[in-house]
A and B are shown apart, each in its own frame.
Chain A
């Protein structure tokens, strides 16, 4: 009993010494604070990029899925034609419509490829490819590369979340908006998206928390984010325990803060309606 107590006492004294070498000597705590700044910067801008990409992809996908069931008008043969000038105007508008439909279905195909590739490959690999292959020959900021990589990655998940949100809104809402004369985009923007957003807010909040933690693989392109910062201290002091736990606690604190923020926002949105 006495010896156990002694051992615990020594361990704590030891820990205090390690704290000194891990964080105080050479201002090593700066690896953590600088790393944290990088992590937050990457996560913040990647989230914004992810939302932008995600919403665009979701709107294209949902719009395409819903427009497919309304078949185009079958025209009668031998229709009366009212004159060459009119006919040309008619033809050109029809041609534009056809072109528009073609572009729409191409955009939908592109979105599908994007979703499949991004969700079907590991994020680390995507980060490496973007850094070493796509921007391989240029000398570009690693923070920028990380933002692009995580933003593109997150966009795919956000897109599916938002799409499910859009599809969950009663079709009658779209019909009501369109029957008033609003076009597709106006109806989406003012009527569908606000309701869909509220429905998917918890899932989106979750996605952002996942994204924040995922940025911890930034070390693969030697970007000194929070995780890498802790690991650098470990490499300098040969002490793994304190630096890694410190990093873990910081992530945990941020995630808990974010979760709290999301649940508050959720409550506020809910109360604004009823």
Chain B
């Protein structure tokens, strides 16, 4: 593609002491693309995802987001994070606030929306995920699947340009996985740029535009889901797929 990618990662490395979590990652993410990152545990998928919005500070390398190197000392990371929504494995809703406040806190505090605008937007988003009637509930009153759907719309309330998902269904009971994947699938259909770390191979196969396989802190295979699932080239990827499929 000729257009400037939304995210461009160059030679990204991250060490935890002597441990190499990321060992030189190069990647481009284009607008509207749904990228799924898979790989065995400890392969660095989560670390990589968390590096993109600097929840982990990379040891070396460059990350360009919308053309700006966010690792440069003059970059204001708080501004960039406003445009990168993130969904966590353990939801991380704020337990002392109602659902509505969970969603409106950031846009109101950061003056992106007035309180009234934010509430309207939150209710609209809640309607879309079928949880409008829970707007005034507290997180502890919700099921895991409901919590994760809230976490997704909380991030959407900031109107992000890209959504990062860090194993969004791994902490859920099996019967609740579907409702969360549905929301993500709708989001993908609407054209949201998404980067998803997951073990849900069905989601990767059906929804993603591209699958990335990571092992030992490197991208060892990359391709369309059809290619990746039917004809993996890397032996580690073959081995991995034979175990999870």
Interface residues of A (CB under 8 A from B): 70-74, 76, 89-90, 93-94, 97, 170, 172-173, 175-183, 186, 190-191, 194-195, 198, 272-274
Kindly identify, within residues 41 to 95 of chain B, every residue whose CB is under 8 Å from any CB belonging to chain A.
Answer: 53, 55-60, 71-74, 78-79, 81-86, 88, 90, 92-95
Known: A89-B74, A94-B73. A76 touches B60 (CB 8 A): yes
A182:B109 contact, CB within 8 angstroms: yes
Q: What residue in chain B is nearest A94 (Cβ atoms)?
A: B73
**Contact residues in A for B53 (Cβ distance below 8 Å):** 179
Number of residues in B with C-beta < 8 Å to the partner?
36
Q: What residue in chain A is nearest B57 (Cβ atoms)?
A: A70
**Contact residues in B for A178 (Cβ distance below 8 Å):** 55, 78, 81
Q: What residue in chain B is nearest A73 (Cβ atoms)?
A: B71
- Report which of B60, B74, B94, B141 forms a contact with A176, defined as CB distance below 8 A: B94
Q: Does B177 contact A (CB under 8 A)?
A: no
A73:B60 contact, CB within 8 angstroms: yes
Assembly CA distance A76 to B13 (angstroms): 12
A-B contact count (CB 8 A): 91
Residue with the highest number of chain A CB atoms closer than 10 Å, among B55, B73, B74, B106: B73
B82:A273 contact, CB within 8 angstroms: no
Assembly CA distance A240 to B184 (angstroms): 77
Known: A186-B109, A198-B96, A274-B141. A176 touches B88 (CB 8 A): yes
- Report which of A73, A180, A191, A195 forms a contact with B57, defined as CB distance below 8 A: A73
Q: Can you add 6 more A-B contacts, CB < 8 Å, to A73-B60, A180-B82?
A: A172-B88, A175-B55, A176-B88, A179-B55, A179-B88, A183-B78
Assembly CA distance A177 to B158 (angstroms): 12
Assembly CA distance A107 to B138 (angstroms): 37
Known: A93-B73, A172-B90, A195-B95. A181 touches B110 (CB 8 A): yes
Assembly CA distance A87 to B137 (angstroms): 51
A55, chain B: closest CB distance, angstroms: 17
Q: State the 4 A-B residue pairs at the shortest beta-carbon distance, nearest first.
A: A181-B82, A176-B92, A180-B106, A179-B86
**Contact residues in B for A186 (Cβ distance below 8 Å):** 109
Q: Does B140 contact A (CB under 8 A)?
A: yes
B106:A273 contact, CB within 8 angstroms: no
A7, chain B: closest CB distance, angstroms: 62
- Report which of B59, B85, B93 forms a contact with A74, defined as CB distance below 8 A: B59
